[in-house]
Amino acid sequence: MRKLKLQVQISLDGFIAGPTSEMDWLVWNWDEALMQYVDSITEPVGTILLGRKLAEGFIDAWRSRAENPETAEPGANKMNDTPKIVFSNNLESLEGKNWANTTLNKGNLVDEVTSLKKQEGGDLIAYGGAEFVSSLIKNNLIDDYYLFVNPVALGKGLPIFGDVETYLALKLVEAKPFACGITVLHYQPA
């Protein structure tokens, strides 16, 4: 059975974006050890799951990061070549989006993700979008939580655990600090 991983950058106080979706607080000067860690998470991934709001910037950003082979960012080809599924009730089609390797899914999130997890292939990974990730968490669909904790407190912002209706017990698999200031907390459901 495929696992669904969640990889998100998060503030010390539990937000993945500021109150108006700002992300200027994120640490991006990642050291080599953190980049290798990310590679180890993404290497077995066969499908990327995205909510519509994140997909709007995510897909175009990774495409532009790979356009010039001389300046391409590490990991850009993996992000572009990996099939992506955008979950949305608002989009009617992907026509005109220029999103290669991307399909639209308008089905029931729990049923669709459960079905994907039962299929053959590499792991699934979700990268964010507060509403989308909150729905995955609320419905206990995440198998591995990779929380990239940034050394900043925002005070207010977009949470991903705000929709949890019952106690969510997690067990710590690993806590790994990196020289750039990010600490990765890897949890699994208890």
Cα gap 112→106, rounded to integer Å = 9
How do residues 151-180 score in pLDDT, each as one tens digit?
999 999 999 999 998 899 999 999 999 999
Q: What is the pTM of this model?
A: 0.92
Q: Is residue 189 part of a domain?
A: no
Q: Check if the beta carbon of residue 128 is closer than 8 Å to that of residue 142.
A: no
Q: Is residue 190 part of a domain?
A: no
Q: Is residue 69 part of a domain?
A: yes
CATH (domain of 34): 3.40.430.10
Cα gap 185→6, rounded to integer Å = 11
- The model's confidence at residue 72, banded by pLDDT at 50, 70 and 90, is low
**How many folded domains does the chain comprise?**
1
**Domain span at 89:** 4-184
Q: What angle do CA 19, 23, 25 make, to 5 degrees?
A: 105
